[in-house]
A and B are shown apart, each in its own frame.
Chain A
Amino acid sequence: MNKISSEENAVINLQSALQQCQESARRGYKIASDNIKETAKAITIVSKSLSACLKIHDEGAVRTPEIVEQLKRQFVSVVSELEQLQNKTEKDLQERKIRLDRFSITLFGRTMAGKSTLMEILTHGDGKSIGLGAQRTTRDVRSYTWNGLEVTDVPGVAAFEGEEDEELAFHSAAQADLVIFLITDDAPQPIEAECFAQVRRLGKPIVGICNVKTAVDEPDDLLLFLRNSNRPFEQNRLSEIIQQFNAFADRLIPGKRIQFISTHLRSRFLAGKHQYSEYEAKLIEASRFNVVEQRIISEVSGRGSFLRIKSFIDGAVAPILELTDTLLDFSAQNSASGRVLIGKHRQLNEWAKIFKSDGLNRIDTLIAKLMDSLRQDVSDFAEEHYEDGHVGEKWNRHVQSTGINEKSEKLLTHLSEDCKKAMQEIARELKSELSKVADFSADKSIKMDGVFDAKKWWNRGTVALSAGLVLAAIIYGSTPIGWAAAAVSVLGWLGSFLFDERENKADKAREKLSKKLNEDIDKIERNRKRQLSDWFFNELIKKQVDVLLSDIRTIESALFELADAQRALAWTLNKRIRHLTKLLIKEGLKQVNASGMEYHLRSVARVPGCANMLLIAPEIKFPEKIKLDLERLLGESVWFVIDNGNPKSILSQAIGRRCDRNKISIESKLKIAHIPLDELDALTLTRVNLAQQLTELHITK
């Protein structure tokens, strides 16, 4: 008697709770759609600043066109990825809007875990949807109403080649206010725990069911089962199984564990069937299903209206949280690439300085040598030829016979080759350094596992993961402007020597000729030196070295702009997360009758499904009871960090004992904190993420 009335009571409570749920859902929807608008603003700002950069580079002096193209692509892809994500979030919200008045529950679990059986029990179905043990029985997503709740059955997860099914299942779970997660009393598998962790990461509150399976359909099996229906529920066996499942899950997701209720779904299902009417009562009792029912109803009546708001907030937070992490990573990568370029830039400058002075030296030396030998010849030549009528012609021939042209050409070829070799080497070094630094910087990243399918949500491949690398490949692969052939034709002729003055006295004639010859040598020396150094400066320094330098400078600044934009966006999004979390905590405090406590919170951080971190002033005492109530309501841990104004202290409090405060180093300009952490278990990763949200410092190893 008592029991029935309490059950009736429960249903009445449920109805009034669902009324409240509708109200809170509207509030939740408002929060989520406001958030979309705010996020859109942030994206617009980034998009604008990036297109401003683009314009500068478009008008800039980059002489390798592919580089500008590549930069454009990088910039555009950042923005378009963001927009895609935004669209998806918006679409999801629209889908939710349609079901605004319905509290929705999704049944989740491996194939054959009993989802469809559960659904049939709730909807008093005919059992057609239940597969007779065959895998992949529920290909479609189907929703039914039960006690005013919308219950959705989805395809099983973790099946062989069942990626599409899995996607459907996760999509539905992401929209749910409550997820019923089913495992069976067979050995739990690691992959089930992986799926479980992913659902929790979405922030979903979970009711866990362990479906005990033993044959009951056949008469002899039924009798055997009813003979001792407690046997399949043997406590030690079941708790060992659940312990095993928790052990798998703990590795993936820290925080509060979920309780699993054991039930024999098949017998509860058969109890409603006509041919088993004889055993109905016995089967219902043996199935222990009423515990499940009560649990679901009490979840909805107890915290249903909070769960509805939470579900909207989580729907907004979970993707942003991951995006923030990703953006910070990209930003760090691009900064690191930028620093590689700065280094290379410096090296190239230094090299160019040396190359210039060495080149001029070589020109000087060659000319000096040639002229020296010509000058040595002057006396003898003058002695022999002061009476010669063809002296001009002979001298010109003599000058040529020193090989001045051949030697000049050879020098230019050498200079050109040295320059080419060095620049190719520098481009190769650049490429190699960039790729190695990208590897190293990836090693330093501390990131929680992603919840979302990276390929579908966030196309990492195209977004600047190694923008620098792509650009370096372009530099390496192309010679900016064709290498000029070093040819004497570009040098022009030396001018020819004319001498027709006659002098009677031998002494005088010889002296005069010597003088004229020396003057001619001076002239040749001046001309040739100028020709060679002009060519050197124009063809090598200006067209090759300076172009490479300017390309590197452009990429350098573009990378930093990209990095800045990504970082700025990440911290803007982080502010959104904090804002949303504040709203959630405020709502939670209201629910546990502690309204007003939120004014004591200086800042908040949250990883959905795991934990909340509250930053409080040193003098604040946060009542333990409120904390416990809040934890129960959220289904997540609540941790406190005392705000003493010292970022290092906050970091070490937040990260906990794995973090040695003395080993933290902070680059305040770049907002980066380096913290040496060796073992990164799920708990540490979560705490690092929370610390990052609180301090607005990108935490790397």
Chain B
Amino acid sequence: MNNTTSFEILDWATAGNDLLKRASTELGNVPSEKIRDLAKQIPAAVLAEDETIKLVFAGQYSAGKSTILKALTGRADIATGAGITTQEAHVYEWDGVCVIDTPGVHTELRPDHDEISYQAISSADLLVFVVTNELFDSHLAKHFRKLAIEKDKAHEMMLVVNKMRRCATGNSVGMQDIIREDLRKVLAPFSPEDMRICFIDAESFIDSQHENDSETAAMLRKKSGIEVFTKELNTFVRESGMAGRYTTALYSLEQVLQEALSVESNGDNDVDALEELLLQRRRALHETRDRIPRTVEKEIQNVGTQIRQDGRKVADLINGNADQKEVNNELQKAQDRVQLHADNCGKSIERAIEQQVGELEETVRNILNSELAKELVPRLNHRIQEANISPEAMGRINKAADISQKLGKFLIENSFKAGGSGALGGMFKLSQYSGTNAHVAVKAVGQFFGKTFKPWEAVKWAKLTANAGRVLAVVGTVLTIYLQFKEEADAAQLEVDLRESRASIRGGFNDAAHAIEMHFDKATGTYIADTFDPEIESVDKQLAELREMQQTRSDLFRNMGELLEETRQLIKVLHANTAKP
């Protein structure tokens, strides 16, 4: 490490510790058990207690990592071979350094090996990246560049080119120069001069140990380049070890964040589609709910108009030439008609609402018959089956285990019937049940409008005079007087009386119409509040649940992404202030 002021390092370490703590809190408090488990792997502080430097051997499979370690440590028990030999990370001790052998990456056939290798790499203080003389193919180049450049590991890395005896002129200086040039493109923006690069042939070294001819053995040892490599490695550990140790905790954090991000893959098409269908159902419910009062209003308006018209007609009968008996008769008839209107009005409202509900059901049927719904049902069936598998088993099958569990639970709770063709029907059906704790069925219209309503009982003047007959009596009195006194002077008074009388009749009928309006308005309000509102509320609840499934994911996704970026930034800051690669 170069001599930057120790003050800066302290600041940096404080920032690192703070980041580790925040990440641990963020990831430790999410619904996903998997992520909470991952959070446990986040180190507590940038500098761990144990002092040993961890040196990880990574790179292409079969590049000879194990053979190199065999040569380096002199241990005979390290297995080597032509195929994929190393199955797991092995830990060895070399010169007080903890050396870790990995299976290598990009074998394609063994993704678990990749995982083991990445895990080891993330916990490394220093890295030895091994390739063969065939150097990088495009896959391996990408992997290497990701580590060296994107993760900024180049500063803590040594590149080893093994199997040099496979070159035409072996491990010669000329060959090494050619290879250095070949590497330039893959290493950019770093250059071969920036990097620690070693050329070896570990197998020649092993051969030399079994060689009987001492001269040949010496030649093989020399060609193997192991001695130079050992020296270089020592220097590497000495010079870069400390800086490497500082970033290790952050690299571990980076690994945890990346895994967490892949667990919470962004978005879920099935949830999105279900949300869309529920939104459409919600819209249909809303439109019907808004339309019902208007339909009712029309029915009420019709009745009101008729009643008021009736009232006016009867009232108009009251004039100087009226026949009392006839007026009484007509008045009685009109009053009876009001009751009839009230009864009919209830029925026609019922019919009108039933029609609306029928149309609503048709709309919902159309939603369920849409291509989207038809495509979604088998997918949801599949998801339910998936959700029934134990969480452990599911973790192996599907990375998005959490959301599948939630979605499965959601579907079952919301009467999605797995297996059937009308699987969404249960969720989209209007509530059929009515009861004390559940809400009232939308279709139970009669319950709200079926009861007999007596408008005259609600009209004030009818109440005061106790019955309709008394109303007639008042009118009758006026008429009688009118007939008896034909004097001019009285006539004017009588004219006033008649007018009041007419107004009173009209008012009575108006009030009756109003009472009917009020009654059915209120009934409609109650109907909607007891049926549609809970129905819409339950869709809203479903939607909220689905959205929450997605929302927590996307929030978490964003937060983790930011933490990852911050981690990488902090690593870069340290590298910028310490050793050159």
Interface positions of A (Cβ within 8 A of B): 110, 112, 132-135, 158-162, 184-187, 189-192, 213-218, 220-221, 224, 236-238, 240-241, 243-244, 247-248, 251, 266, 336, 339-340, 342-344, 346-347, 350-351, 354, 358, 361-362, 364-365, 368-369, 372, 375-376, 378-380, 383, 422, 425, 429, 432-433, 436-437, 439-441, 506-507
Give the chain B neighbours of A133 by CB distance below 8 A.
133, 167-168, 175, 178-179, 182
Complex Cα spacing A378 to B525, Å: 32
Cα separation A379 to B276 with both chains bound (whole Å): 56
A-B contact pairs, 26 of them (CB 8 A): A112-B134, A112-B135, A132-B175, A160-B137, A160-B141, A162-B138, A184-B166, A187-B83, A190-B108, A218-B170, A237-B82, A240-B83, A336-B371, A339-B371, A340-B371, A344-B370, A350-B362, A354-B363, A358-B295, A375-B309, A376-B308, A376-B510, A379-B315, A379-B502, A422-B287, A437-B371
- Chain B 440-467 residues near chain A, CB threshold 8 A: none
A160 to B371, CA, bound (A): 45
Decide if B376 is an interface residue (CB 8 Å cutoff): yes
A441 to B378 CA separation, bound complex (whole angstroms): 13
CB-CB nearest 8 A-B residue pairs: A187-B62, A215-B170, A160-B141, A343-B370, A190-B108, A213-B166, A339-B371, A240-B82
Partner of A187, one of B60, B279, B506: B60
**Shortest Cβ distance from A64 into chain B, in angstroms?**
22
On whether the beta carbons of A436 and B372 are closer than 8 Å, the reply is: yes
User: In angstroms, how far is the closest chain A Cβ from the Cβ of B357?
Assistant: 12
Cβ B178 vs Cβ A361 within 8 A: no
Main secondary structure of the interface of B (DSSP, over half): helix
Inter-subunit contact A436/B134 (CB<8 Å): no
Q: Is B486 interfacial (CB 8 A cutoff)? A: no
Contact A372 B304 (CB under 8 A): yes
Contact A161 B185 (CB under 8 A): yes
User: B183 — nearest CB in chain A belongs to which residue?
Assistant: A135
Taking A218-B169, A358-B291, A437-B375 as contacts, is the C-beta distance between A343 and B137 under 8 angstroms? no
Q: Which residue of B is nearest A376, CB measured?
A: B308
Decide yes or no whether B216 CB sits under 8 A from chain A. yes
* Known A187-B83, A217-B168, A350-B359; 18 more pairs at CB < 8 Å: A133-B182, A158-B137, A186-B133, A187-B61, A214-B166, A218-B170, A237-B82, A244-B84, A248-B108, A342-B371, A343-B372, A365-B294, A368-B302, A379-B503, A433-B370, A437-B375, A440-B375, A506-B495
Contacts of A237 in B (CB 8 A): 82
Q: Which single residue of chain A is at the shortest CB-CB distance from B315?
A: A379
Q: Judge whether B132 and A187 touch: CB under 8 Å.
A: yes
Choice from B138, B269, B305 contacting A368 with Cβ under 8 Å: B305
Report the tally of A-B residue pairs with Cβ distances under 8 A. 201
Chain A min CB distance to B279 (Å): 8
* Bound complex: CA A486 to CA B60 (Å): 73
- Name the residue among B138, B169, B369 with the largest chain A CB count within 10 angstroms: B138
Residues of B290-322 at the interface with A, using a CB-CB cut-off of 8 Å, are 291, 294-295, 297-298, 301-302, 304-305, 308-309, 312, 315-316, 319-320
* Distance, CA A375 to CA B376, complexed state (A): 57
Q: In whole angstroms, what is the CA distance A133 to B495 when docked?
A: 126
Residues of A within 8 A of B179 (CB): 133
Docked complex Cα distance between A80 and B137 (Å): 37
A187-B63, A191-B138 as given contacts; A350 in contact with B375, CB under 8 Å: no
Picked from A158, A241, A380, A440, the residue with its CB within 8 Å of the CB of B83 is A241
Contact assessment for B136 and A160 in the assembled complex, using a CB-CB cutoff below 8 Å: yes
In the bound complex, do residue A369 and residue B301 qualify as a contact, i.e. CB atoms below 8 Å apart?
yes
Query: How close is A253's CB to chain B, nearest CB, in angstroms?
Result: 14
- CB-nearest residue of chain A relative to B309? A375
CB of A660, distance to nearest CB on chain B (Å): 15
CB pair A132–B166 under 8 Å, yes or no, is no
Which of A185, A187, A350, A432 gathers most chain B CB within 10 Å?
A187
Asked if B499 lies at the interface with its beta carbon under 8 angstroms from chain A, I say yes
A47 to B368 alpha-carbon distance, docked (Å): 37
Q: In the complex, which residues 162-181 of chain B have their Cβ closer than 8 Å to any Cβ of chain A? A: 163, 165-170, 172, 174-175, 178-179, 181
Closest to B140 in A: A189
Bound complex: CA A212 to CA B132 (Å): 14
Q: How far is the CA of A247 from the CA of B83 in the complex (A)?
A: 11
A85–B370 CA distance with the chains assembled, in angstroms: 37
CB–CB A437/B372 < 8 A: yes
A-chain residues with CB within 8 Å of residue B372 when the two chains form the complex: 340, 343, 433, 436-437, 440
Q: Look across to chain B and name the residue whose beta carbon is closest to the beta carbon of A518.
A: B312
Contacting residue for A429 out of B134, B182, B280, CB 8 A = B280
- Docked Cα-Cα span, A192 to B139, in Å, equals 10
Are A187 and B366 closer than 8 Å at their CB atoms?
A: no
A236 to B141, CA, bound (A): 29
Which chain B residues lie closer than 8 Å to A221 at the CB level?
A: 165, 169-170
Is A217's CB under 8 angstroms from B132's CB? no
Interface positions of B from 370 to 390, Cβ below 8 Å from A: 370-372, 375-376, 379
Q: How many Å lie between the Cα of A365 and that of B304 in the bound state? A: 11
Task: Give min CB distance, B424 to chain A, whole Å.
Answer: 14
A346 near B366 with CB under 8 A, answer: yes
**Complex-state Cα separation, A364 to B82, whole angstroms:** 89
Q: Among the listed A159, A251, A432, which residue makes an inter-chain contact with B109, where contact means beta carbons less than 8 Å apart?
A: A251
**Across the interface, which residues of B come within 8 angstroms of A383, CB to CB?**
499
User: Is B106 located at the chain interface by the 8 A CB criterion?
Assistant: yes
Q: Are A248 and B276 in touch, CB under 8 angstroms?
A: no
Q: Taking the nearest CB of chain A, how far is it from the CB of B492, in angstroms?
A: 10
A559 to chain B, nearest CB (A): 12
Is B340 close to A, CB under 8 A? no
Q: How far is the CA of A221 from the CA of B175 in the complex (A)?
A: 14
CB distance B163 to A436 under 8 Å? no
Contact of A372 among B63, B273, B298, B308 (CB under 8 A): B308
* B112-141 contact mask (Cβ, 8 Å, vs A): 1 or 0: 000000000000000000001111111111
B78-132 residues with Cβ-Cβ distance < 8 A to A are 81-84, 106-109, 132
Q: How far is the CA of A215 from the CA of B207 in the complex (A)?
A: 15
Shortest CB distance A385–B (Å): 14
B304 CB to closest chain A CB, in angstroms?
7
CB nearest to B311 among chain A residues = A376
| Contact partner, A433, options B185, B359, B371, Cβ 8 Å | B371
Q: Please measure, in the bound complex, the distance between the C-alpha atom of A354 and the C-alpha atom of B375, giving whole angstroms.
A: 27
Most buried by A among B135, B140, B170, B375: B375
Determine if A251 and B506 form an interchain contact, defined as CB atoms under 8 angstroms apart.
Answer: no
Contact A358 B294 (CB under 8 A): yes
Say whether A364 contacts B298, CB under 8 Å. Answer: yes
Residues on A with C-beta less than 8 A from B137 are 110, 158-160, 189, 191-192
Chain A's closest residue to B83 (CB) is A240
Provide the residues of chain B in CB contact with A184, threshold 8 Å: 134, 166
Task: Give the complex CA separation of A586 and B301 in angstroms.
Answer: 86
- Tell me if A436 and B273 are in contact (CB < 8 A): yes
Complex Cα gap A378–B371 (Å)? 58
B219 on the interface (CB 8 Å rule)?
Answer: yes
Which residues of chain B are within 8 angstroms of A436 by Cβ–Cβ distance?
Answer: 269, 272-273, 276, 372, 375
- Chain B: minimal CB distance from A577 (Å): 30
Assembled-state Cα–Cα distance A378/B172 (Å): 118
Interface pair A160/B138, CB less than 8 Å apart: yes
Judging by beta carbons under 8 Å apart, are B109 and A186 in contact? no
Nearest CB of chain B from residue A155's CB, rounded to whole Å: 13
**Contact partner of A189 among B60, B172, B315, B320, CB < 8 A?**
B60
- Cα A342 to Cα B206 in complex, Å, equals 74
- Residues from chain A with Cβ under 8 Å of B141 in the complex: 160
A375 to B312, CA, bound (A): 9
Report yes or no: A365 in contact with B109, Cβ–Cβ below 8 A.
no
B132 CB contacts on chain A under 8 angstroms: 186-187
B148 within 8 A of A: no
Interface centre among B174, B269, B272, B301 (most CB of A within 10 A): B301
Does any Cβ of A come within 8 Å of B522's Cβ? no
Q: Select the residue from B61, B294, B371 with max chain A CB neighbours within 10 A.
A: B371
Closest to B167 in A: A133
Q: In the assembly, what is the distance between CA of A441 and CA of B216, in Å?
A: 67
Docked Cα-Cα span, A247 to B305, in Å, equals: 88
